[in-house]
């Protein structure tokens, strides 16, 4: 299936092949589990504010349809391709299965640069993409959510476009929408909060005092900023963070409330006065207890895996570590990896709660949501650690094999 060829898809396939070997899945069943069940590519013509028309490529991949509707984020980024989206959809299948959610995996994306588009252009882009996707999505078919470059507003436009088509309001068509439109309390915070919960559990597991721990976060967006705040609430000291425009470092700790004001004004962490500038490459190599990649895929590679200096690698992003880097990290038992399919599962878990609340038109309080979220994460974490220890498997192989086995 050459149409999916892309470094991230090859990486997801390689991970799957290792799991398939471990689980002894017969050769003739492997491709069937690996390749997406269906994929759609659409041309999305958008009128720009200057009156010209630009056509963007939009994708949606539904990887696995047996456990229920498919579920997965929608990404706006210039480098989005079919292969990348397919890899992300595959990981969603393993993640939903690992955490026991009644979903298959999906993912979508539009190759665009949202930072260079006006709000009106983004609205036209989103509405047109949704219109093109209508035969392909639905509350019982495929449910989207925010991912890199998308947010609550984008979800609200998708819901509205779909509802206009249906002739009535359909909140369950997307998750991660504003609470006033049927969104769930705690959804925006869910992924980062889950990351911090699991890091705290990992510190217990390896005997590290989180109140004396230092943390570095790459990618200060939705997931990274909430993960940083939540880690700080557990007592960790955040010493460096970054975004696409650069990073900042202060060994004494960064004042996250002051940083929040700076980001609200400047739209970037770069230039924060109470810290030194640092590049994204250097940031990953800083000595720290907790390293949280929360931006893009393939950030920890064979080039830097031997040089990272952390005790816990908490993969908030999807696919931040390549299989080549995994091999190097496997030789470094001092590093405890919380693999992406577990580490960032908080997002899809609370998305599931949002979908359930929308279908029932019965809304829960935030404490109930956080409590249910932590229970599911706790079960998954305990299962993965137990399997990893019993069979002497790397944490990623343990997590993926639990997910793949269910699928
Ligand atoms: P976001 O768009 O809110 O934030 C992404 C951040 O990464 C931004 O600060 C951006 O500037 C930064 N960034 C982009 N390119 C970078 C680069 N080259 N170097 C350093 N920083 C860079 O996106 P998000 O929703 O926080 O998603 C981040 C990651 O978490 C993605 O891998 C996504 O797939 C994953 N994820 C998100 C959710 C969710 O609920 N949003 C759930 C599970 C996994």
- Ligand 1 cavity residues, CB under 6 Å: 146-149, 191, 218-224, 242-244, 280, 294-296, 316-318, 344, 347
Residue nearest to atom 4 of ligand 1 (CA): 221
For this structure, is 107 an active site residue? yes
In tens digits, the chain (407 residues) has pLDDT values of 799 999 999 999 999 999 999 999 999 999 999 999 999 999 999 999 999 999 999 999 999 999 999 999 999 999 999 999 999 999 999 999 999 999 999 999 999 999 999 999 999 999 999 999 999 999 999 999 999 999 999 999 999 999 999 999 999 999 999 999 999 999 999 999 999 999 999 999 999 999 999 999 999 999 999 999 999 999 999 999 999 999 999 999 999 999 999 999 999 999 999 999 999 999 999 999 999 999 999 999 999 999 999 999 999 999 999 999 999 999 999 999 999 999 999 999 999 999 999 999 999 999 999 999 999 999 999 999 999 999 999 999 999 999 999 99
How close is the Cα of 259 to the center of ligand 1, in Å?
Answer: 18
What is the position in ligand 1's atom list of the atom closest to the CA of 297?
32
Half-sphere exposure of 258 (CA within 13 A, CB side): 9
Residue nearest to atom 23 of ligand 1 (CA): 148
How close is the Cα of 296 to the center of ligand 1, in Å?
Answer: 6
pTM recorded for the entire structure: 0.96
The three-class DSSP label of residue 372 is: helix
Catalytic residue among 107, 116, 252, 390: 107
pLDDT score, position 1 = 79
d(CA 300, CA 329): 10
pLDDT in tens, 121-130: 999 999 999 9
First-residue to last-residue Cα distance in the chain: 21
d(CA 300, CA 390): 27
60 membership: H or E segment, kind and range: strand 53-62
pLDDT score, position 157 = 98
Ligand 1 pocket mutation, candidates 219, 318, 338, criterion most atoms within 8 A of CB: 219
pLDDT score, position 315 = 98
How close is the Cα of 243 to the center of ligand 1, in Å?
Answer: 9
d(CA 75, CA 77): 6
Ligand 1 pocket mutation, candidates 223, 226, 282, 314, criterion most atoms within 8 A of CB: 223
Half-sphere exposure of 123 (CA within 13 A, CB side): 8
């Amino acid at each position: 299936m050459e149409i999916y060829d892309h470094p991230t898809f090859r990486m997801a396939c390689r991970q799957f092949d290792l799991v398939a070997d471990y689980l002894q899945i017969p050769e003739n069943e492997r491709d069937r589990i690996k390749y997406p069940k269906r994929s759609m590519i659409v041309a999305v013509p958008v009128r720009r504010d200057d009156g010209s028309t630009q056509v963007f490529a939009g994708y949606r991949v539904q990887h696995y349809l047996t456990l229920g509707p498919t579920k997965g984020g929608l990404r706006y980024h210039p480098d989005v391709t079919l292969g990348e989206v397919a890899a992300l959809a595959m990981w969603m299948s393993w993640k939903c299965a690992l955490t026991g959610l009644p979903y298959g995996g999906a993912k979508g994306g539009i190759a665009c640069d949202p930072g260079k588009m006006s709000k009106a252009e983004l609205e036209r882009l989103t509405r047109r993409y949704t219109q093109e996707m209508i035969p392909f999505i639905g509350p019982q078919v495929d449910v989207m959510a925010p991912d890199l470059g998308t947010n609550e507003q984008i979800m609200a436009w998708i819901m509205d476009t779909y509802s206009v088509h249906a002739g009535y309001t359909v909140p369950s068509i997307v998750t991660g929408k504003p609470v006033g439109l049927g969104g769930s309390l705690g959804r925006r915070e869910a992924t980062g909060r889950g990351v911090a919960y699991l890091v705290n559990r990992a510190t217990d597991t390896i005997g590290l005092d989180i109140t004396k721990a230092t943390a570095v976060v790459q990618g200060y967006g939705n997931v990274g900023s909430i993960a940083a705040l939540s880690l700080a609430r557990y007592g960790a000291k955040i010493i460096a963070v970054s975004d696409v425009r650069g990073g900042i470092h202060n060994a004494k700790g960064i004042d996250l409330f002051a940083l929040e004001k700076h980001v609200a004004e400047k739209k970037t962490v770069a230039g924060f006065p109470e810290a030194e500038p640092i590049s994204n490459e250097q940031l990953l190599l800083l000595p720290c207890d907790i390293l949280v990649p929360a931006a893009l895929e393939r950030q920890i590679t064979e080039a830097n895996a031997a040089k990272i200096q952390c005790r816990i690698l908490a993969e908030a992003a999807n696919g931040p570590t390549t299989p080549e880097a995994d091999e190097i990290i496997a030789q470094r038992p001092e590093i405890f990896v919380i693999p992406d399919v577990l580490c960032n599962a908080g997002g899809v878990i609370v998305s599931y709660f949002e979908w359930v609340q929308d279908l029932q038109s019965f809304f829960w309080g935030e404490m109930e949501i956080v409590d249910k979220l932590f229970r599911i994460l706790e079960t998954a974490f305990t299962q993965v650690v137990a399997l990893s220890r019993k069979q002497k498997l790397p944490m990623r192989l343990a997590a993926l094999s639990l997910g793949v086995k269910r699928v």
